[in-house]
Amino acid sequence: ALDKTHGVRPDLLARYAPQGSTWKCLDGSKEIAWSAVNDDYCDCPDGSDEPGTSACPNSSFYCRNAGHIGSSILSSRVNDGLCEPECCDGSDEKPGVCPNVCDEVGKEYRKKRDAERKMQKTGSKIRSTYIAYAHKEKTRLEGLIAELEKEVATREAEVARLREIAEHAESLSAADIEHKQKSPLYQSLLTHHTALKSLQREHKKHLEREKALGEVLDSLRTGYNPNYQDMAVLEAVRGWETLAGLPHINDVRKDESEGAGDAAAEGQVQEAEELEEGIWDAAKIEKELDKLLKEDHTSLLLQHDKHIDAPGPSILFDLSSYVPDSIRPEFEAFRDIVVSWLAAFGLAKPVDVSGSADFARQELSDSEHSLKLTENELKEARVDFGDIFDPKGFGPEGEWKKLDGLCLSKDTGDYTYEICLFDEAKQKPNKGGSNFSLGKFTSWDTQQEPGTPAYYHKQRYTLGAKCWNGPQRSVELVLECGIENALLSVAELEKCEYQITGTTPALCTPPTDDDATGKDEL
């Protein structure tokens, strides 16, 4: 018969002793004969009477593994004819079935463990530089914040000063400008401006729509396997390929000249439209249109006036050149009087002051802009400062700060996957076509407690580009300790949900003393 303590965990050994000829199940629910322990029949509801057999489901078996580390296996593995790697002493099977390989296994284990410890050590050294970096960053940010606060104060004062000047200048010329703005030319200019702006908006909308449609069709083209049954989908894909000059995906090369298809596609691209003389192409439209729309029309109006005034502003001013030299002084004196009168009645422009108002306004707006930039910088610096040692941000020791924005990539043949840490994950087709966002950084592993080591083994990137006929793409980045920051594998386990694995020294904590004393158990 089997030893009564066969398969018993060391901490429970004391409880496997008879009381007279009987024994109580560990949960106390039943008293059975001592002979019924390890007799390959399940008597106890908690399965405790069969530590060494497979008779009770959901219980466990302990292998001592002398020469290595003891371990527990599920009772379903006992006496099933297979030698469990966890039981190197072979005690999980009847004698003679499995050899005792604990010596070799132990040796192998120690070798592997040493290598792991070495890697962990190297990794943790790198990690400590990350932590040092975080502290440096903290100091830098503290300085930066102080500096920026000072700068904000300075800029605020400057804005206040400029505002006063601008308001003063404007108060002088407001009425004048108002008058000028009534000019039909100016009104027409405004209408043109509105039209141009509207057209630009519409154009942009169409471009975005076209891009979105292109993306929809691209993802249809690359991902239309599932409902392939539908020939209408196939037609759509082929139509898109023709339109976009893409090679036929999944198609069969009927002739062996592989390049034929690609060459045709290139030809299509080269067949660029010829533009009429003077007409802008797309790039120029984009560049020039914004410039046009940014023009300050009021100052343009004033410049216009200046320009009109310059060579021969009005007959009054111009007349002097036709007046004989003899009477010119008198004429000019008269003219000035008339002009001043006219000016008094608002019929002609005196010396132009609106230019300086416009300049002041520009100065103010520039200064306000600079203030805003500085304020934003400050805000960002404060957020960054807060994030550094936030358990939900760059970790309690700030060990992740160094990796913020670091881009890692993995080429899987058809695609290159890129993750810029704490930012965005992307899928880039290697054979052309558009990139897809696989999602933006959203969180660490929400299944785990923030601050615990397990929390930092997973990152979630969500709300990426939507899949055709599917969800928005997302990534689960699974990380392990390693001496390099690298991506190892990419798998789309479910439609549009990617699991990417990688390594980083940020996860390498120094090997603990416990690990080192593990030897004692051997």
| Residues within the interface to other proteins (CB under 8 A) | 39-41, 43, 54-55, 57-58, 74, 76-77, 79-82, 225-231, 234, 250-253, 256, 412-413, 469-470, 489, 491-495
Q: Residue 483 — φ and ψ, nearest 5°?
A: -80, -5
Could you give the count of Cα atoms lying within 13 Å of 247 in the half-sphere of its Cβ?
14
Quote the CA–CA distance of 390 and 353 in Å, as a whole number. Answer: 56
Q: State the minimum distance, in angstroms, from the CB of residue 78 to other proteins.
A: 9
Could you give the count of Cα atoms lying within 13 Å of 463 in the half-sphere of its Cβ?
5
Return the closest-CA partner of residue 40 out of 21, 22, 61: 61
Q: State the minimum distance, in angstroms, from the CB of residue 470 to other proteins.
A: 6
- For every residue of 256-270, DSSP letters joined together read S-THHHHHHHHHHHH
Q: How many CB atoms lie within 10 A of CB 44?
A: 23
Q: State the minimum distance, in angstroms, from the CB of residue 92 to other proteins.
A: 12
Nearer CB in complex with other proteins: 227/443: 227
Nearer CB in complex with other proteins: 360/496: 496
Nearer CB in complex with other proteins: 43/397: 43
Beta strands 497-504 and 474-481: pairing type? parallel
Q: State the minimum distance, in angstroms, from the CB of residue 74 to other proteins.
A: 5
Quote the CA–CA distance of 505 and 127 in Å, as a whole number. Answer: 5
Q: State the minimum distance, in angstroms, from the CB of residue 462 to other proteins.
A: 15
Nearer CB in complex with other proteins: 229/326: 229
Nearer CB in complex with other proteins: 130/415: 415
Nearer CB in complex with other proteins: 256/520: 256
Torsion angle of the four alpha carbons 300, 305, 311, 314, in this order, in degrees rounded to the nearest 10: 170
Quote the CA–CA distance of 15 and 56 in Å, as a whole number. Answer: 18
Return the closest-CA partner of residue 116 out of 516, 521, 522, 452: 516
- For every residue of 214-251, DSSP letters joined together read HHHHHHHHHH--TTTT-HHHHHHHHHHHHHHTPPPTT-
Nearer CB in complex with other proteins: 22/303: 22
Q: State the minimum distance, in angstroms, from the CB of residue 91 to other proteins.
A: 17
Three-state secondary-structure class, residue 311: coil
Nearer CB in complex with other proteins: 36/319: 36
Q: State the minimum distance, in angstroms, from the CB of residue 57 to other proteins.
A: 5
Quote the CA–CA distance of 361 and 368 in Å, as a whole number. Answer: 10
Nearer CB in complex with other proteins: 57/312: 57
Quote the CA–CA distance of 137 and 128 in Å, as a whole number. Answer: 14
| Length in residues, the chain | 522
Q: State the minimum distance, in angstroms, from the CB of residue 30 to other proteins.
A: 11
Nearer CB in complex with other proteins: 448/469: 469
CA 262 to chain centre: 33
Q: State the minimum distance, in angstroms, from the CB of residue 413 to other proteins.
A: 5
Q: Residue 317 — φ and ψ, nearest 5°?
A: -75, -35
- Which distant-in-sequence residues (6+ apart) come within 8 Å of 211 by Cβ? none
Q: How many CB atoms lie within 10 A of CB 436?
A: 23
Return the closest-CA partner of residue 221 out of 193, 194, 240: 240
Nearer CB in complex with other proteins: 71/298: 71
Q: State the minimum distance, in angstroms, from the CB of residue 377 to other proteins.
A: 44
Q: State the minimum distance, in angstroms, from the CB of residue 230 to other proteins.
A: 8
- Which distant-in-sequence residues (6+ apart) come within 8 Å of 94 by Cβ? 79
Could you give the count of Cα atoms lying within 13 Å of 5 in the half-sphere of its Cβ?
11
Nearer CB in complex with other proteins: 224/389: 224
Q: State the minimum distance, in angstroms, from the CB of residue 469 to other proteins.
A: 7
Quote the CA–CA distance of 424 and 408 in Å, as a whole number. Answer: 11
Q: State the minimum distance, in angstroms, from the CB of residue 443 to other proteins.
A: 20
Nearer CB in complex with other proteins: 336/414: 414
Quote the CA–CA distance of 508 and 172 in Å, as a whole number. Answer: 69
